[in-house]
């Protein structure tokens, strides 16, 4: 089960996933949680910036840009097609 967790940064544009774990600590963890990034939150990769980083994500109806360092601290599970 745990093996399925991958960092959010590894998703490609258009993919959807469910947040399973935040590995970040301190301020950035609180910031992310304030934005509603808690366990089982659905996240969609919207688009990349011109240089590929940061990337814009759809989180609870809002578009939030995250740098790759932050996105790699968000562990997710890919959306299965059946679950859709």
Smallest distance, other proteins to C-beta of residue 73, A: 8
Smallest distance, other proteins to C-beta of residue 13, A: 9
CA distance 71 to 19: 11
CA distance 25 to 50: 29
- For residue 61, state whether it binds other proteins (rule: CB under 8 A): yes
- For residue 83, state whether it binds other proteins (rule: CB under 8 A): no
3-state secondary structure of 40: coil
Applying CB under 8 A, which of residues 1, 3, 12, 52 lies at the interface with other proteins? 52
């Amino acid at each position: 089960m745990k093996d399925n967790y991958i960092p959010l940064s590894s998703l490609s544009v258009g993919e959807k996933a469910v947040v399973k774990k935040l590995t970040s600590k301190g301020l950035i963890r609180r910031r992310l949680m304030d934005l509603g990034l808690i366990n089982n939150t659905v996240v969609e990769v919207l688009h990349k910036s011109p240089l590929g980083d940061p990337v814009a994500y759809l989180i609870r109806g809002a578009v939030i840009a995250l740098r790759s360092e932050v996105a790699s601290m968000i562990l997710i599970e890919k959306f299965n097609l059946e679950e859709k």
